[in-house]
Structure 1
Amino acid sequence: MLKELLEKKEKYGHSVGPAIRARRKELGMTVVQLAGKSGLSGAFISLIERGKSSYSLVSLQSIAEALDVDIGYFIDVPEGESLVKRAGANDYLDIDSPVKYRLLSSSLPHQRMEQISMEIPPGYQFPFVKRDGEGFIYVLEGELVITVAGDESVLGPGDSIHYDYQAGIGTANHSEKPTVLLWCGAPAWLHKNLTDNEDSES
């Protein structure tokens, strides 16, 4: 799998859409089949493949699982053994998304949660998500509209929310300014998948 990852990045760089399309065709899957397996809409996947839509890390993870690859197939994850994350460190995930993701968690053995800071541009809306696991959001700057199980709340600086993804989650920044937040989630799918992949190669 590591060899496939390097070959993909050499050919596509970090353009996620073409990489998704190539992997889907390699598996002989249609857009409709990928949609059914990932839990996302076919129209949404088609737009991602053509570079016409943005996406969240959670959506990308669902697509990666449906295509039988880990999320590292699509993005570069900062490396580092230190438990401490310094303020000036360049720990941003290399992903072609309008949202800036900075990885705050370290690679602990048997890690059970993930921590990421996000800077969400004005007018951005995440795709609806329903999956296993929990999430926690603490808003640092700006405004976030979040819908959990159909109930909408508007969060401002200092507000937080803890939710179960199985309830169905929708989030958006409808304001005219960026929203900055801290997101914590369990299980720690980002590190878990990359670690499992490394173990399989050893």
Structure 2
Amino acid sequence: MEDEEHQDLARSIGASIRAARREAQLTLTQLAKEAGVSQPFLSQAENGKLMPSVINLHRIAQALNTTAHEILERGARPAVRVVRATEGRSYPLGPDATVRFCVGRNRLMDCNEVMAGPHSAAESATTHQGEEFVYVIDGSIRMVIGESEHLLGAGDTVYYAATVPHQWFNDSDTPARFLFTSSPPGF
């Protein structure tokens, strides 16, 4: 079942990238160059044959003047939406880390739940427009924001400008669970 969901998500993301590229009136080659990825990679992503990494998804979105969140959440959403604990689309952030989207598209903010296994981390530092707020639910994480590091435990929060490079790490031997809230939606 998980493989089927992964394939469905890859096809959905690919279709969203293709639609956004066509709306921007770019060829595969033009978008690949702008995003810093190869044309064959982009073609495979658009055809749902592979799942772009978080970093590549952000690069593609930036080249399309949108956000990774918009690509992932294209389509109409009701004005009020309840997302149960067992629901919501999820996306792999890297080895042993997953994000679950808690808010639909066309919002002024988004909130994503990250489940991070022991000794996992974001692929690399990232930047984007807006502001972010992180709330640790369980476990502990280390946030590197610009030149500063912050060790956060359950109940701790951090707020920062998302234009500053930021990256999270779970350095512990236990899983961590935390919320990333950003405005405007950045993922």
Q: Alpha-carbon deviation of 1:79?
A: 7.2
2:135 corresponds in structure 1 to 138
More strand by share: 2
CA contact (8 A) 1:100 1:118 kept: yes
- TM-score, normalized by length of structure 1? 0.60
Structure 1 equivalent of residue 108 of structure 2: 112
Instruction: Identify which of 170, 174, 180 aligns with 1:173.
Output: 170
Out of 98, 101, 106, the residue aligned to residue 99 of structure 2 is 101
Counterparts of 2:147 and 2:138, CA distance in 1: 24
Identify which range, 97-106 or 133-142, moves more after superposition.
Answer: 97-106
Aligned CA distance change for structure 1 residues 169 and 189 (closer, same or farther; 3 Å): closer
- Alignment RMSD: 4.0
Comparing both structures, which one devotes a greater share of its residues to helix? 1
Q: Using structure 2 for the length normalisation, give the TM-score.
A: 0.64
Residue in 2 that maps onto 1:55: 54
Q: Which residue of 2 aligns with 1:197?
A: none
Residue identity (%): 19
Aligned length: 162
5+ residue gaps in structure 2? 1-6, 22-26
Q: Which amino acid aligns with 1:103?
A: F
Code of the residue aligned with 1:62 in structure 2: it is R
Matching residue of 2:35: 34
User: In the alignment, residue 125 of structure 2 is paired with which amino acid?
Assistant: F
Q: Is residue 152 from structure 1 mapped to residue 155 from structure 2 by the alignment? A: no
Change (3 A) 1:32 1:132: same
